[in-house]
Amino acid sequence: MKIPKQNCPFCGYAVDRTDGIESKKPKAGDISLCLKCMEISLFGKDFILHVPEAEELIEIQRSLAWAKIERARAAWRQLRIKEQISADGR
């Protein structure tokens, strides 16, 4: 779904849509994974992303969503490795 145009609080990647980890329509407190750096940010008011506080991060790691995040990150890392190999190929 469309969210207000903004930048990833970690890498500055421009974001204007999300598929959400838990639901298609994010609400305040929901997790967003950056497609560029795979860092976790949280939706606040009006779908504005922010860097999670230490306590919020612990909460996320204890939640059921964490396994999904780890899977998404693992898949992303594999993709990156494959891209690296094809870029190095001569």
**What would the DSSP string read from start to end of 47-62?**
G-EEPPPHHHHHHHHH
Q: Which stretch binds Zn ion (CB under 5 A): 10-18, 21-29, 61-69, 80-88?
A: 10-18
The H or E element that residue 43 is part of is strand 40-43
> In which region does residue 20 sit, left (phi positive, over 0), alpha (psi from -120 to 50) or beta (all else)?
left
Q: Which of 15, 33, 34, 49 binds Zn ion (CB under 5 A)?
A: 34
Amino acid at residue number 66: W
Q: Does residue 42 touch Zn ion according to CB under 5 A? A: no
Q: Closest separation between CB of residue 11 and Zn ion, Å?
A: 3
Q: Does residue 76 touch Zn ion according to CB under 5 A? A: no
Residues making contact with Zn ion (CB under 5 A): 8, 10-11, 13, 34, 36-37
